[in-house]
Amino acid sequence: MSIFRFLSPGIKENWKVVMLSAVGAATFWFFNAMNKDYETSLNYPLDYDFVRDSVVIITPLPEYIKIDVASGGWNLIRRTLRINAAPILIPLENPSAIKFLTRSSLTPIVKEQLSGLDVTFVVTDTLYFNIEEKVIKKLPVIVDSLTIPLRNNYRITSPIKVYNDSVTLTGPKSIMSKIENNVEIAFADKEIDSDFEEDLKYRIDPLIKARPSRTTIEFDVRNFVLKEVDVPIEFLNFPRDSSVIATQKNIRVYYTIDEDHENEVDKNDFSITLDYSMLNSRDSTIAPILMYSPEKALDIVLNVDKVAIERQR
């Protein structure tokens, strides 16, 4: 419903005149107000003057400084809206050595650059900087096999290929000084259970840049299973009259083997001996000796480390 329905006929006929008068009055008030002086607080943008190629910025530089100013309305609006307002330029002649600038150092810089504004007070107490000297190193790339996340019972069965044998690192001096003589490859937290070939990053701090950023790592893996077998003992140098005998005739052998070859090994591929000349007279035992074993059997363990010897009556 139109608001003009409730206006008197005279006003209805002259509403355009009324509106123009209101706009004119508001415009006059606005321009008159803009010509007066005001005080306000501003978050004013900052920029910095220093050679950036030789340093690393550890934490972001402060972007604004808070100041109290007095000026005409037009000037304040222009500064507030950033219209043709250049940021305050902070010179840092030796950026890696400067850790902060206090209000006493900032005030003359701000006042000099903000022409047309009466800077009454610099509210920001201190600007803090964390900038370090840039260091560049070229180091060899290595793979620590203990850090490779293999699935249980899986093993690496081939040489580990590293396609980029060196990397150039660039970073802040404090972090670069902690890096020793090589760079390790960073593997993702996953269980590897198949032949591996991926482009991986390096185990370095996020503030360090690497060139190249990745390298290809390649190796083969196989599943190994735990097996056991009872191996007959071979007796050496025992008395022919059987006056002494061993308390057991077999020794259980545990080993791991590539599952693709587990059926290629049996008890006849192992040899275990007891040599009577090695008798321990204190406890009447002999340590068994594994004379030979198949090359494909790994992590071989005997279920006993000594065998008791008994004398026959």
Separation between Cα atoms, residue 26 and residue 227, nearest integer Å? 96
137-219 matches 224-311 in fold = yes
Contacts of residues 204-209 at CB distance under 8 Å and 24 or more positions apart, as own/partner, are 204/169, 204/171, 204/179, 205/171, 205/175, 207/56, 207/58, 207/171, 207/172, 207/175, 208/169, 208/170, 208/171, 208/175, 208/176, 209/169, 209/170, 209/171
Give domain limits for the chain: 1-35, 36-129, 137-219, 224-311
Separation between Cα atoms, residue 96 and residue 99, nearest integer Å? 8
- What Rg value do the Cα atoms of the chain yield, rounded? 42
pLDDT tens digit string along 123-144?
A: 999 999 999 999 999 999 999 9
Length of the chain in terms of residues written: 313
Q: What does the pLDDT read at residue 84? A: 54
Q: What does the pLDDT read at residue 148? A: 93
Contact 251, 287 (CB under 8 A): no
Q: What does the pLDDT read at residue 104? A: 93
Task: Quote the DSSP letter at residue 259.
Answer: G
pLDDT tens digit string along 145-178?
A: 988 999 999 999 999 999 999 999 999 999 999 9
Whether the bond into 212 is cis, omega within 30 of 0 = yes
Q: Write the class of the CATH domain 224-311.
A: mainly beta
Q: What does the pLDDT read at residue 306? A: 95
pLDDT tens digit string along 18-54?
A: 454 444 444 434 344 444 455 778 888 999 999 999 9
Q: Is the dihedral of CA 30, 35, 41, 46 positive or negative?
A: positive
End-to-end CA distance of the chain: 127
> Is domain 137-219 given the CATH code 2.170.120.40 in the classification?
yes
pLDDT tens digit string along 81-138?
A: 454 568 999 999 999 999 999 999 999 999 888 876 778 889 999 999 999 999 999 9
Q: What does the pLDDT read at residue 127? A: 96
Q: What does the pLDDT read at residue 22? A: 47
User: Measuring CA to CA, how many Å separate 271 from each of 104, 247, 304?
Assistant: 87, 18, 15
Q: What does the pLDDT read at residue 149? A: 94
Q: Which residue, 272, 279, 270, is CA-closest to 237?
A: 279
